[in-house]
């Protein structure tokens, strides 16, 4: 079975250049060499892919998803950590762990205002994740309009 997952050779100039494989080539899992110019659809920006995967992984936990939804609803002012803890009825140590995970992937920011720690959703990161998921919707179907957009078009 031919897998479409690619292994990009990048800037390797050692033995691959001696074999006539330029920087514009990569291997499929099946070890077939593919010219990047001919098959650019499978060249993926791994950093964007990895960032999106990390955000989705963080939101894959029900507690973190509930925290994030609460912060999205709160708007630009965010919510104090104590209010989040009361709303979700989560122990402080557990909440701290989940907040740290969301902060590490860039979905939230923690701000200290006096003695209060406020958490705010990072809407730009949320937009980036949603954009990555929908950017190429129906791109492989020629002339196709995504179903929800077809009604408004």
| Cα 79 to Cα 140: distance, rounded to the nearest angstrom | 42
| Cα 138 to Cα 145: distance, rounded to the nearest angstrom | 7
Q: Judge: domain 48-128, CATH 3.40.50.720.
A: no
Residue range(s) in the chain whose domain bears CATH number 1.10.10.10: 48-128
Are 88 and 70 in contact by the 8 Å Cβ rule? The answer is: yes
pLDDT tens by residue, the chain, 153 residues: 444 444 444 444 444 444 444 444 444 444 455 444 444 555 545 588 899 999 999 999 999 999 999 999 999 999 999 999 999 999 999 999 999 999 999 999 999 989 999 999 999 999 999 999 998 888 787 766 666 655 554
pTM, to two decimals: 0.63
Residue 57 to residues 52, 54, 64, 85, Cα–Cα distance (Å): 8, 5, 10, 22
């Amino acid at each position: 079975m031919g897998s479409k997952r690619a292994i990009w050779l990048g800037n390797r100039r050692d033995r691959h250049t001696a074999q006539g494989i330029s920087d514009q080539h990569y291997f499929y899992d099946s070890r077939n060499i593919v010219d990047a110019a001919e098959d650019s659809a499978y060249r993926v920006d791994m950093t964007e892919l990895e960032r999106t995967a990390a955000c989705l992984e963080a939101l894959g936990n029900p507690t973190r998803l509930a925290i994030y939804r609460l912060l999205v609803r709160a708007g630009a002012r965010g919510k104090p950590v104590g209010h989040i803890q009361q709303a979700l009825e989560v122990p402080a140590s557990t909440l701290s762990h989940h907040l740290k995970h969301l902060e590490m992937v860039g979905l939230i920011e923690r701000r200290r205002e006096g003695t209060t720690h406020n958490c705010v959703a990072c809407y730009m990161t949320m937009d980036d994740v949603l954009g990555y998921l929908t950017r190429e919707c129906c791109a492989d179907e020629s002339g196709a309009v995504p179903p929800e957009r077809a009604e408004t078009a």
